[in-house]
Chains A and B, each alone.
Chain A
């Protein structure tokens, strides 16, 4: 039971009276990588944002690390244990790459400046951001570099779980690789991750389990080979056929 890091039960979210999440339930074990696929507007971002409490669900339960976090008053300490990587990086624009990574360590983890700097440099090195980039501001970095700094910022906090919300969707095709590569290495190192992405190649290689979300409901979940290559649900099959065509995997029937 203890190795279940996250349990989501019957999660509902309404926005302006409209149901966005409709009874979502799943579990994730420590060290697992879960990939969430689904069309845009399905509620994928909302689901991730519920997990780190940027959005408050209306109904259901989220048990993280053995605690019911929806009942907790101290949401800040929960958030500090869950990393979040955004589609648009959301680096602090008035801070250098290094300062971006140090910021949470100093303000939230209350580390000394020296300690934080050492730790931040280690995290930046781990995502392949080399020394000459440490003092650059976000606007001076490429998208791929910015996203890797953002991953380092999350990583440095030593989170138990990292949530990725379409981390490569805002990147030029050539830069997607460097970010997926970093994420794959994290997965291999048994970091627990939930990744919303359209990169089905990445999902095939890295995911322990794939979930397909549509209209606020999980239509299908299972091993990547099964959900991506042989989906049972008609809606999922139609989506995957198109994805396979775009990513040239197998023979996608596009109609």
Chain B
């Protein structure tokens, strides 16, 4: 069966760039939204903080397939028609923003107030202390989880299949239907996901222990 499959490999491989575009764009949008929500939650007034927390919870609670369907089939009803690729990007980003808000909120809160007080004692203003002390430390604290989240988003992009986006999983299914064998196409596409995720998960583990040994994971000091 491998022989009949082998000649279709390029068809699946050629969709790798699309999978990467889906991943990077939805991840980037989710990061921007996630950091903005996290900052609002930690530093804005109580009322804003509660509303933002609630929004993030709702976003995390939406099943991915529903989010994508809402963007692809729902938005045209209010006059916004997006090509399937962009609809998938937005649908994935919205849900992931809820998860990234959690990652960055935890990280910002883990930066000790003692670090802020040291900055204030030198004569720094609040905004400068956030920019030079809280942000860089929060980003380091968030880094391992943030990379892990990237691998989650990568695998989530396979759901774009449901609205016909050409990405590796969609192509694998199409090939499977042509050669009437699901085994090799699914193994192959899994290897593609694994080949990207595995090194990143190693990197995440390495950074975690590295940052921990450097005392940068919010030891509370």
Chain A contact residues, CB within 8 Å of chain B: 52, 54, 76-84, 86, 88-94, 103-104, 107-108, 137-140, 153-154, 157
Q: Are A86 and B118 in contact (CB under 8 A)?
A: yes
Q: Are A52 and B137 in contact (CB under 8 A)?
A: no
Which of A54, A94, A137, A138 meets B121, CB within 8 Å? A54
Chain B contact residues, CB within 8 Å of chain A: 114-115, 117-125, 128, 132-133, 136-137, 140, 213-216, 219, 221
Write the nearest CB–CB distance from A67 to chain B, whole angstroms: 15
Inter-chain CB contacts under 8 Å: number: 72
Secondary structure at the B interface, as helix, strand, loop or mixed, is: helix
Which of B118, B123, B128, B132 meets A80, CB within 8 Å? B123
* A108 and B216 contact, Cβ closer than 8 Å, known pairs A90-B114, A93-B221: no
Write the nearest CB–CB distance from B17 to chain A, whole angstroms: 36
Q: Are A79 and B117 in contact (CB under 8 A)?
A: no
Q: B117 — which chain A residues lie within 8 A by C-beta? A: 54, 86, 90
17 additional contacts, CB 8 Å, given A89-B221, A107-B128? A52-B121, A76-B123, A88-B114, A90-B114, A90-B118, A93-B214, A93-B215, A93-B221, A94-B137, A104-B124, A107-B124, A107-B132, A108-B122, A108-B123, A137-B215, A138-B215, A139-B213
Q: B128 — which chain A residues lie within 8 A by C-beta? A: 107
Write the nearest CB–CB distance from B2 to chain A, whole angstroms: 51
A79 to B213, CA, bound (A): 32
Q: Are A77 and B122 in contact (CB under 8 A)?
A: no
Q: B132 — which chain A residues lie within 8 A by C-beta? A: 103, 107
Q: Which of B114, B121, B140, B221 counts the most A-chain CB atoms under 10 A from its CB?
A: B121
A sample of 9 cross-chain residue pairs with beta-carbon separation below 8 angstroms, ordered by A number, consists of A52-B121, A54-B120, A83-B121, A88-B114, A89-B221, A104-B123, A137-B215, A138-B215, A153-B122
Write the nearest CB–CB distance from B122 to chain A, whole angstroms: 4
A103 to B123, CA, bound (A): 11
Which of B140, B213, B215, B221 meets A88, CB within 8 Å? B221
A78 to B118, CA, bound (A): 14
A82 to B123, CA, bound (A): 9
Which of A86, A103, A137, A139 meets B122, CB within 8 Å? A103
User: Which 5 pairs across A and B sit closest by C-beta, in order of nearness?
Assistant: A80-B123, A139-B215, A104-B122, A90-B118, A84-B121
Q: B216 — which chain A residues lie within 8 A by C-beta? A: 93-94, 137, 139
